[in-house]
Amino acid sequence: MSRNFVKIVLMLIRQSIPCELLSHPVLDQKQVVLQVLRLDQVHPEVSGNKFFKLRYNLQEAITQNHQQVLTFGGAYSNHIYATAAAAKEVGLATVGIIRGESLDSKNPTLSFAKSAGMSLLGISRTQYREKNHPAFLELMRQKFGDFYLIPEGGTNSFAIQGTREILSLSQSDSSHVLVPVGTGGTFAGIAASIFSHQKLLGISALKGEGIRDEITDLLRAECIQTKGSIELVTQYHQGGYAKWTAELISFIHWFWEVFKVPLDPIYTGKMAFACWDLLKKNYFPPGARILLVHTGGLQGNRGFTQRTGIVLPTPVM
């Protein structure tokens, strides 16, 4: 298959994203409409927001004539999983630099990445902090050969070019859009594409207020001036990044039973939890049309079960 052909295949899969209308007596009582934009269904392996963050990066790697991409992530990273799958689909080799020296052979994320052809290298947490230094990258070039670099979490200008397109694929005219926030690349792209009557709420998956400055810097660097209003919500982290509470886990089970929408405990579960809590506290005015952006992350549920023994509702992928 020629590279151009596969490239187009990757970009055109499922251009219309399913948007599901949820129904529940509480929604009627509060007189709001709640929809979920299922980015988790955009592609079987290159799921969620990572599909959008990777597409123009891979296109750029190909345009620059690279044969390989290198990126970073934790051992259960959605970004590592999606990069391995997407790059394979467009015929690029991949290197994944993983935080933590010993790579667990039973880790489902890393097993998948390996089976997709990704070369994996585990490095210590100390080394990981130095990963963007030119000397480290030069060492990686000596070890693996030339590569196109995608940062940890995948956020750069090409990623934001992709996340700007997320809402254009939704048919819903919402008053409120909710999205989980990690590095903020998805939030930034959506902030760039909302209209003046819309409000974007970013639900931070991380503990602390540092994310506010990071987002401000990101919006400035990308010259994004939103037409609507944007707000970061930082009180739903449940203890911090990748931390969880029993309440969150029961909520994820409840959400599945009631709406048949699977969630992950790192990002989308915290966002949906925040939405339901804000709803109960009358944050949304009557007449609000709320859109939850389901950013995927369900591959991580298997690793979560492996780590904690807690089984989460996860459709077969």
Q: Is 296 in the site for ligand PLP (CB under 6 A)?
A: yes
CB of 48 to ligand PLP, least distance (A): 5
E strands present in the chain: 19-22, 33-38, 68-73, 93-99, 119-123, 148-149, 176-181, 199-204, 229-233, 289-294
Q: Is 181 in the site for ligand PLP (CB under 6 A)?
A: yes
Question: Closest residue to ligand PLP, Cβ-based?
Answer: 297
Q: Is 46 in the site for ligand PLP (CB under 6 A)?
A: no
In angstroms, rounded to a whole number, what is the distance separating the alpha carbons of residues 47 and 260? Answer: 18
Question: Which residue number, 89 or 264, has a Cβ lying nearer to ligand PLP?
Answer: 264
Q: Is 109 in the site for ligand PLP (CB under 6 A)?
A: no
Q: Is 180 in the site for ligand PLP (CB under 6 A)?
A: yes
CB of 208 to ligand PLP, least distance (A): 15
* Among the listed residues 37, 46, 48, 249, the single contact to ligand PLP using CB under 6 A: 48
3-state secondary structure 162-180: HHCCCHHHCCCCCCEEEEE
In angstroms, rounded to a whole number, what is the distance separating the alpha carbons of residues 131 and 140? Answer: 10
Using alpha carbons, list the distances in angstroms from residue 46 to 84, 89, 108, 130, 203: 9, 10, 15, 28, 22
Token reading at 156? 């750069």
In angstroms, rounded to a whole number, what is the distance separating the alpha carbons of residues 270 and 247? Answer: 11
* Among the listed residues 230, 295, 301, 303, the single contact to ligand PLP using CB under 6 A: 295
* Among the listed residues 71, 155, 161, 238, the single contact to ligand PLP using CB under 6 A: 155
* Among the listed residues 74, 96, 182, 265, the single contact to ligand PLP using CB under 6 A: 182
Token reading at 295? 């950013």
CB of 285 to ligand PLP, least distance (A): 27
Q: Which stretch binds ligand PLP (CB under 6 A): 5-13, 46-54, 84-92, 207-215?
A: 46-54
In angstroms, rounded to a whole number, what is the distance separating the alpha carbons of residues 272 and 279? Answer: 10
Question: Which residue number, 181 or 252, has a Cβ lying nearer to ligand PLP?
Answer: 181
Give ∠ CA 118-74-139 in degrees, rounded to 5: 60
Q: Is 267 in the site for ligand PLP (CB under 6 A)?
A: yes
Bridge partner residues of 229 (DSSP): 199
Question: Which residue number, 193 or 295, has a Cβ lying nearer to ligand PLP?
Answer: 295
In angstroms, rounded to a whole number, what is the distance separating the alpha carbons of residues 306 and 301? Answer: 9
Task: Give me the residue label for tokens 């667990």.
Answer: 104
* Among the listed residues 71, 183, 193, 238, the single contact to ligand PLP using CB under 6 A: 183
Residues that bind ligand PLP (CB under 6 A): 48-50, 78-79, 153, 155, 180-187, 264, 267-268, 295-297
